[in-house]
Amino acid sequence: MFQNNRLLIPMKMTCKLKSLQISGIVKKFKKGFGFLKVTSKINYYIPPKYNKYVMHGDRIVAELYYQNGKKFVRPIILIKPFLKIFMGYIKKIGNNVFIKPDYPLISNLIICDVKKNNARHIHDRDWFIAKLIQHQLNNGKIFQARLITLISSYNDPLLPWKVVLSNHKTNYKFPNIYNYEINFNKKIFRKNLIHLNFITIDHECTKDIDDALYVKKHDNDDITIIIAISDPTAYINIGSNLDVIASKMLFTNYLPGFNIPMLPRILSENKFSLHPNVKKPVLACKVVIDKYGNINKNFNFFLAWIKSHARLTYEDVEKLIEGNRSWYHKTSIINQINVLHELCNRRMKWRKKNAVIFKDKIEYKFHFSSSHELIKVTFQKRGIAHKIVEETMILANIIASKFISKNLGFGVYNSHIGFNETNAKNVSLILKNNGIYINSNNITTLLGFCEFRRILNTISTCYIESCIQKYQSFSVMSLTPKPHFALGFNEYLTWTSPIRKYSDMINHRIIKSIILGNSAIKPNQKMIMNIMDCKRRHRTIKKNIENWLYINFFYKTKKINQIFQAKIFDILPYGIRAQLIINGANVFIPMCHIHHVQKEIICNQKYGILYLKNKELYRISDNISVIIIDIQFDSRSIIAKPI
């Protein structure tokens, strides 16, 4: 009689599920509720009255209940807190000090265990590293933290840099080093080339100048170029104190507003820098380029002394090439610029025909006051002067790759595979839908990829470029020669920035060992992995600092309710990401601001198209007008809506 009674079923279910315990990770939302994620497809609701006992990201055990026809869970045991050691900013309320963790999905203000005498030295918006010492689920009381280290005071002009770098466990300045040895070996023979008209071309603000160029045009139209690179490894011995520090720094970290050098500034910006009219030791290569841009096989590497005869900026070179010479009268230097320009054009034509040349991208420059406040952001295209330096450095790296591969077969190589098989098929489908028919198997080969890129450069649109970009592989490092599809070469490594890149220092030493007939030390795989990890970390740090600077800049200059032109670069199920054309800031457009009826919007993320009522509304690469509606400091996001 009572077996299938409908009134008793909920009671039976409650009794059955109450004793059932499950584990998972907490996912919280701003409206006060959350979910317990058990698997990728199974989530259980956490009501607000229980949600307050846990934080986003906590791994917990919960009891499963059934009430009013719905399942929900009640957290009972903390397995692993999401927060342990964390960063956050201070919020003072009365005599109490709280810290807000630097995670957008954690809205908790956590009270800090601070003595009254110390509290008066702590201010709102100071940033600290803290440790969670008490969790509410453990004892039912409160969340509590202990402050460990001050990262930055609220009024420090370098606050964004210090916080972001601290988050990535990176120091914002070069380590203090009082005892380092530099021993220059005077016994090694170097060619004396100080009489040749070497010149340097760099940004106006560059202090660590590491390359100099000399060219000579012959009667048969061949051009000889000597590319001279600063030689810090002539001073820094393997395993020395300075070498160990450089091997940990790995790169000079170039950030908006300042840089963190790989080597002490007194060396990188002075002794090792190729300043004008000063005799400097270099590692150099000499190569002949014919009128078609081909590289003569009889290139060679050697050690030398040079003296830069002119320190030119990119702007200087642009003016000279355009014919504006009223401010400069050294004919010998002007001739150098003219021949370099011709050499650049030859190599670009050769690469366009035989390798890969990608389209130029707009670059954005941050302008700061003396107190590190962002004043403005401007966009600038790479001019011919940049391309001259770029082509000569690529030329030098091609030669070095051939030289090292032929003699040893190991070094720190750059590699890029283009597309893997799965992504190649996706790209082929995208191209087919746009009337371009390319076999997916072909673009997984170097020759096929180069041909594919040359076709796109002539017939593709910005949409196709944007659509296939996300399928392209990232470049990696390798101990042995491997193809570099993005450049179109069978092998490629760099050696032209030994002041700024430890991988280039390694390749310097390898080249010099071949020249001098010494045994070369092969780098290990751990070093390769460290270099790759460091490159990724630096890119993330730079991006995060830029986002922070944009947030502060938009807030201080009152950009809310202002209209901008933006270019869509990503379309997601929950919104659109776009870049403001005038200053490069990224904005997010939530789907709710695109159309009020969500069911009428269809997002095709694969092809980067948004449909409204089955009609195309937006696609990636579209230029649209947007208005800024919110600036969110915690998530460091700029929210916009289309107009």
For residue 314, indicate whether it is catalytic: yes
Catalytic residue among 202, 231, 243, 504: 202
Residue 311's nearest CA partner among 290, 333, 342 is: 333
**Could you say which DSSP state residue 267 is in?**
I
| Nearest-10 Cα torsion for 269, 270, 273, 278 | 150
Which residues share a beta bridge with 71? Answer: 66
Here the tokens at position 195 are 């009489």
Place of tokens 């191209």: 431
Catalytic residue among 211, 231, 316, 622: 211
Helix (H, G, I), strand (E, B) or coil at 401: helix
Across 487-636, where does the E strand assignment appear? 563-572, 575-580, 586-590, 601-604, 609-612, 615-619, 623-632
For residue 210, indicate whether it is catalytic: yes
The answer to whether 531 and 412 are in contact (CB under 8 A) is yes
For residue 290, indicate whether it is catalytic: no
Catalytic residue among 50, 314, 413, 492: 314
CA–CA dist 446, 436 (Å, integer): 19
Here the tokens at position 521 are 């030390």
Catalytic residue among 347, 453, 500, 636: 500
CA–CA dist 488, 416 (Å, integer): 9
Helix (H, G, I), strand (E, B) or coil at 633: coil
Catalytic residue among 58, 208, 504, 622: 208
Q: Tell which phi-psi region holds residue 409, choosing left (phi > 0), alpha (psi between -120 and 50) or beta.
A: left
**From the DSSP assignment, how many helices (H) and strands (E) are in the chain?**
15, 30
The answer to whether 111 and 94 are in contact (CB under 8 A) is no
Helix (H) or strand (E) segment spanning residue 368: strand 363-368
- Return all residues near 198 (Cβ < 8 A) that are at least 6 apart: 212, 213, 214, 226, 228, 306, 307, 308, 309
| Chain centre distance of CA 444 | 25
Helix (H, G, I), strand (E, B) or coil at 217: strand
For residue 351, indicate whether it is catalytic: no
Q: Could you list the active site residues?
A: 202, 208, 210-211, 314, 500
